[in-house]
Amino acid sequence: RYLAMDWILHIDERQITVDDDNLSQRYVMALVAFSLDSLAWYACGEHRDYDNGGEEFVVEDCEVQNMATSQYESHKIWLSRADECEWYGVICSNDGVVKGVELSKFVSSRVGIHSMCHLL
């Protein structure tokens, strides 16, 4: 929980305020990301890149091939400044409320599901 709160307060480039309607939603999504080690995900996971001087910066865009259509789809990585509804695998309503996460895109073992259950 500390990592998610620290990210919201100090790292998240959106720097949303306490009265923002998305604060709770963004915090919960950050909990999911840190609990399931989002940097290690095969698709849209590792998002750090380095320029020639070795300075770290964030790459927000990712492309994932849709296995049903063989087409590539553009998404945003988790823990980016993009709205959480744009993050890969997040399902939202038309008014921007997170309705679910397609866990099968990230979690291939019971260990990941077990980690998710601790969030509840």
Gyration radius of the chain's alpha carbons: 15
CA trace torsion 90, 86, 42, 80 (10° rounding) = -120
Contact 35, 119 (CB under 8 A): yes
For residue range 34-64, what is the model confidence (pLDDT) as tens digits?
887 766 565 666 666 555 555 555 677 888 7
- Beta bridge partners of residue 49, listed in sequence order: 57
DSSP 48-84: EEE-TT--EEE--EEEEE-TTT--EEEEE-TTSSS-G
Given CA atoms 14, 64, 98, 29 in this order, what sign does their dihedral have?
negative
Q: Encode pLDDT of 77-107 as tens digits.
A: 888 888 999 988 889 999 999 998 886 665 5
Contacts with 31 (C-beta within 8 Å, 6 or more apart), sequence order: 1, 4, 119
